[in-house]
Structure 1
Amino acid sequence: MENTKDTSILYANDLSVAYGDKVIIPSMQVFIPKGKITSIIGPNGCGKSTLLKSLARVIPHKTGEIVLDGKRMSELSSIEIARKMALLPQGPQAPAGLSVEELVSYGRYPYQKGVGRLTQKDHEIIEKAMKETGVESLKDRSIDQLSGGQRQRVWIAMVLAQDTPLILLDEPTTYLDMAHQLEVLELLQKLNQEEHKTIALVIHDLNLAARFSDHLIAMRNGQVLFEGSAQKVMSSEVLKAVFSLDACIEKDPWTGRPTMVTYRLINNQTD
């Protein structure tokens, strides 16, 4: 592997995860490089979301060790973890009638003490998070009144208000049209480049993954088959092994990144 625990903000060794008797991840070593955008790709049911939830300690792992920012997660409290890592799950739901500013303020929960009143610093961080995600003008609007793209930016503002060096996102572009997908990914890229956030996300669109990611992790059947730069992972050989696809890969004239122009199934096999 290209990365090591010394250059990673989050890594797991000998990680295994199961739902009851069904093993999803038999044994895995995985690294999330610090200061980068990492995309986790792979066919449906290969364990991408399970991996992300396990790394975030949302679901327990059977064996293995997860290290966050140089410390074993098993030795960290929930509050300590919440101050180092934020997770945006797939399709999050907000209570009915909640305003944008109220939802974003939930990100300050790990820092509240006593009766949980927001401090001046909390309000400043909330305002900054809304401004950076472009939802400041919507702060008094109800979440229910927003479009899908606006709503996703508000959720990202909430995890940004959590003020963690690491942000995990599970399929943040699902159900969004192409323009809103670009809007969300450009926002994440901005947070990475300007706020120095380490970002790891599960994503299905391979071209978007290659365009916006510094590092790709390609999974199949609960295992990491390939990992590395977009130039290394976004290749016809890798896509054949991971997705059973015969893919035509060319260089994007705008970004210089590899992009999939067209593809077809190999022997009509699907995963």
Structure 2
Amino acid sequence: MFLSLTATSPAIAKFVKTGCNDTCGNNVTIPYPFGIGAGCSINQWYAVDCKSSKPYLSALKHLEVFSIDLDDQKVTVYTPKIPNCRNPVLNSSEIMGVDLGNSPFFFSKLHNTFVFKGCGFAVMMDNERVVTGCSTACLNVTLNDTNNCVGNGCCQIEIPYYLKSYSIHIERQGEDGDCESAFLVDVTKLNDEGWYFDPFNHVIRIMNKSLVPISLKWTLTDSDHVTCCERDPITRKVDMFNSTPLVTRYCGYSSLSNNPYVIDGCREDGK
């Protein structure tokens, strides 16, 4: 559920703490528990810097924010897509991904997919443990001309659980000098923008992008002292590899035009 709000909107229910800005630039809403500036977020992990009309998560290596979804507890950020060009000697390589460290964020298994474009196979690793992977054939296809992602020069697969960090291992096949790429990406955002393979228009413009959107699950615990405007916080479980789910606190919605994480955010017209 994506919330759209501009600074010139008429009086509406509050999305941020008193005295805090709710937007960065023209298109990105920053609702609480995130916040722009000192004292506007629930903790330092949710602090957002607004620079040149673009929002960045200051505690996560200044990843640029694409959107924030309160209902799904999801923040979508842009991350670099690193190409892996062929080494004439080595047929395998490893690419480092993003490490979320001790943050309350996880790579979302519900919204992201793992994509490999190239000849051979690629696997996603978590602390030297294989998470998922897929392989391709390259049958009479030039990688630059690939227009689908169903196994011929390109493949995709879901990730099985929420991750804190990952790396990518690629095994190449063939003798050409093309560059492979393997990355995690939010497939819903790509479909929305027409960047990704669609059986009706056969487009994969994402392959030419240097940045790709990834969705992170944001979590809140008892130590965050979450309060909701209508009812007590409810709990959600985040599936982890070790089968012990993480419990996150969540404020339910009463309508599309509010922010239940703000004490007066449930009032329909700001009244």
TM-score, normalising length: structure 1: 0.28
Bigger Rg, which one: 2
Q: Which has the higher helix share?
A: 1
Q: Which has the higher strand share?
A: 2
TM-score, normalising length: structure 2: 0.28
